[in-house]
Structures are given as structure tokens and as C-alpha cells.
Amino acid sequence: MRLWIKDPLAIMAEGAARGVVVEGGAIAACVPAGGPDPERIDAVFDASRHVVIPGLINTHHHFYQTLTRAHPAAINKELFPWLQALYPIWSRLDPESFRVSVRLALTELLLSGCTTAADHHYLFPRGLEQAVDIEVEEARALGVRLTVTRGSMNLSQKDGGLPPDSVVQDEDEILSDSERVLRLFHDPSPGSVTQVALAPCSPFSVTKRLMAQTAALAERYDCRLHTHLGETRDEDAFCLATYGARPLDLLEEVGWLGPRTWLAHGIHFDDAECARLGRHGVGVCHCAASNAVLASGFCRTLDLEAAGAPVGLGVDGSASNDASNMMEAVRHALMFQRLHYGSASRVTHLDALRWATQGSARCLGRDDIGAIAPGLQADLALFTLDELRFSGAHDPLAALVLCGAHRADRVMVGGVWRVVDGSPVGVDLARLRAEHGRAALRFA
């Protein structure tokens, strides 16, 4: 079927003022202003009330953390004490509570206009060995593209690391399961709905040997690499005390400094390190809200991009952001980066939207999503400007960011509507809220 998404109020695409034609899960054509109507149209969607943007791409999250939002043990703390407070609580994760946490996070993301999500899952307490399988099942049921990163921790408190013994695994177990999920789920082909990346958690929770072994495994299976890096000054101090090197030097030692890698946060890099990251094509996911909540600092987005590093956006975990909303992340990125660079003209709403789409797609190593153009996947987010917050707005695309859009009216993934009239298709939101609320009581 050829569907014409016709005459949008505004669209984030070149030569598509009259909309786009979708066929076979992809963008078949852009319809320019003043041109003839497209041929062979089977159905028309009147988009005259809608602002159309590429589906947003979330490049860093921790789905399970929806169960511990605004937790009294962790609020008003910086990263290391925040983690130390929450690790024992997270060790209670079981398959049932984890499944509903994933479902809720993915549903929140979808409602915010997100069509592709990367989740960094690194907690595998006993009984939760099939966590990656659960995430894949839930994402496929909702119709969201997923890059699931098989995370890991093998450096516990007894070894000088940060996490307790109850949430770490040994190296052989980690590498064996990494191979298992790569064989089962990793699909690097264009239009893929499921991809796997390998993601040792951070320099203070994994060994150098595990990082190096993981890089070799990623090379064999042609998958991406992901980790937290450059998030706090405490991390710098830990790496210098433990390894005698700064975090980025450590990354190079273990074979990670290359275009296969994207990093979460990337705050505390100096000028020379920004240049190194750009030279090697390492991507950085900016997590504005989380960085603000934990007072971690500002990601140097413009400097990284100028050096050649891909820059994307992520919501980060719902226990540090306390939300799973990609449109909010776009607005946060705009505001915090303007504050960081002391300029309203150097960081525009189009920059923030680009980071959440094309930039995020580059971080994930994908060239089939992230923009609206013929041949790319038909992943689209459509927003209306009917709420009071938008009244008086004159630039529809700018209004999405500046006036605080947070919920899409329609979302399409691979040519299929997954959100219709502001509701996720096939999801009982009241039931999901009740189930998730009950599950969260275990973590009080």
C-alpha cells in the first residue's frame, strides 16, 4: 500500500512541504510544494494539523530504573553515592518486575515520539540471566526498534570496584552470554528491528581484561560497543588511582578507540581528548537531564561535533532523569547547551532535533533511520499544536522544542502506526500503570 501523509503543518525534511509517500515500510517519495500530486496512492492521511519529524532515537537508557524513580535512598546525591545507595535495591530485580519495567519504559518512549531505543542493561542478579531476551520480546510486541546493549559488571567492591558482589558476573559467564544474544538477536541489515551491542558498564565496575575481550568479540560479530565514560570527576580520580590513566587513555589501551564505539555522557574531556574522539569517530550520547540531576557537568557537544565525533541524545535511566521522554530530552539539550556555551545563537532548536535523529543514528551506526528522505525507513513522529502551551507559536518546528511538546499524536515505525490519537496501539495504559506500580513496591 502506498500511503500519502499529506500537507503537514510543518515537516523536518527537504523538499517535502506537501508530505511524504510511504510504501513497504520506507519513504518512497517526498512531495515538494508546487508539484503534482504523487501517483498510485492507495490511502491518504491528512496531516494538516501535524508537525512531522523523523522518529526520535534514544541512544542511552536503563529501562529497569523506572522501578526506582525519585527513590528516597538516592535523591539529592551525586553519582557514586547515588549508585551505592541503589545497587542493593536493584539487586532485587526478578523477571516479572523487570519485564513490566521494560514495557513501561518503551511505552513512555514511544508516546514521546521515539521509534528506536538503545538500552544499556548491565544488572544480572541470579534469576535474571534472560534479561536481554525479555527486552527483545517486549520491544517487538510494541513495534519499537531496539538496540539492546548486553552490559556487564565484573569488578565488585571486594575487587576495588563500586557494585556489590550480588550484581556482578564472572568474565566467562559474561562473554558466553554475549555470544549467545549476538547469535540470537543481532541483525545488522538495513531496516533491522533488533540489534545487539556489547556494553561493559563503566571503568569502575569492569576489568581491563573484560573490556579488551569484549572489543575482540564485537569485532568478530560486527556489532557496536558502548559504555559510560567521562561522566564525573570521581571517575577521573578512580581511573588515575586504579589504572594510572585518564578514562580516555584507558579506553585506547583496551582497543575501544574507534568508530564502533559510542559513549554515554562524555562530559569531562579536555580539548585534546575531544580532538581524539573526533579523529577516531567515537560517538557521544548527551544525557542532559541526568547530568543536571546528578550535577555531573556539561557535555561539550559543539566541540565534539567540530572535531568530527557523532553526537546523539539519550534520556538515561529513569532513576536519574526520572522520565523516559525523548521530546523532553531534546528541550533539555537545547536549554543546557545554551547555558553551557553562553549563547542562544550557537545552539538552535534544529541542532537539538538533529542530535536526537541524525546524530543518534550515527552513534548507533545506522544510515537507514534518523531522517526523512526517500529510501530511509518510514519512522515518523507526528505532533499536534492544539494544546494551550502552543497557542501563539509561529514556527511549528521551533514550537515543539521551545514550547515543550512531550506527547506525540501519531507515531509510525517501519510504515506501521504504533501510536494513534495519542495512544499506543494494543496497550492498556491503565493496566500497565497498575502492574508497574505494584512491581515498584518491591523496591521501596
Question: DSSP readout, 184-232?
Answer: HH---STT-SEEEEEEE--TTTS-HHHHHHHHHHHHHHT-EEEEEES--
The CATH number for 294's domain is 3.20.20.140
Residues 112 and 250 in one domain: yes
The mean pLDDT of 203-230, rounded to a whole number, is: 96
Same-domain check for residues 201 and 229: yes
Is 26 within the bounds of a domain? yes
C-alpha separations of 153 from 159, 170, 240, 290, 376 in Å: 12, 8, 20, 21, 36
Sign of torsion, CA 356 413 321 178? negative
Pull the grid cell for residue 174. Answer: 559474561
In a domain, 14, yes or no: yes
Q: Give 2-26 pLDDT, tens digit per residue.
A: 999 999 999 999 999 999 999 999 9
Mean pLDDT of the 366-378 span: 98
One domain for residues 85 and 32: no
Q: Judge if 11 and 112 occupy the same domain.
A: no
Question: Both 329 and 197 in a single domain?
Answer: yes
- Identify whether residues 127 and 204 lie together within a single domain: yes
* Together in a domain, 45 and 76: no
Question: Which residue, of 343, 363, 383, is where some domain finishes?
Answer: 363
Place 413 in a pLDDT band, splitting at 50, 70 and 90: very high
Strands 416-420 and 114-121: unpaired
pLDDT digits (tens, 9 = 90+) for 52-99: 999 999 999 999 999 999 999 999 999 999 999 999 999 999 999 999
Report yes or no on 189 lying in a domain: yes
Q: Is residue 432 part of a domain?
A: no
The pLDDT, as a whole number, for residue 16 is 98
Give pLDDT tens digits for 233-280. Answer: 999 999 999 999 999 999 999 999 999 999 999 999 999 999 999 999
> For the residues 32-50, what does the mean pLDDT come to?
96
Please give the pLDDT value at position 344.
Answer: 96
Q: Which domain does 412 fall in, by range?
A: 2-54+371-424
Same domain (yes/no): 180, 221: yes
The reply to whether 78 and 190 lie within a common domain is yes
Beta bridge partners, 197, equal: 149, 224
Domain boundary pick from 316, 340, 363 = 363
How far is Cα 82 from Cα 290, in angstroms, rounded to an integer?
12
Query: Is 41 within a domain?
Result: yes
Assigned domain for 227 exists: yes
Q: Does 251 map to a domain?
A: yes
Looking at the structure of the chain, the number of domains it has is 2
**By three-state DSSP, how is residue 252 classified?**
helix
Mean model confidence pLDDT for the chain: 97
Q: 297 and 403: one domain? A: no
Give the CATH number, domain containing residue 415.
2.30.40.10
| pLDDT tens-digit series, residues 148-183 | 999 999 998 888 888 888 889 999 999 999 999 999
Same domain, 67 and 200: yes
Closest CA to 287 of 322, 256, 237: 322
- Identify which of 423, 375, 358 has the alpha carbon closest to the alpha carbon of residue 25: 375
DSSP 377: B
Predicted local distance difference test score (pLDDT) of residue 335? 98
> Residue 330 domain-assigned?
yes
- Is there a single domain that holds both residue 15 and residue 79? no
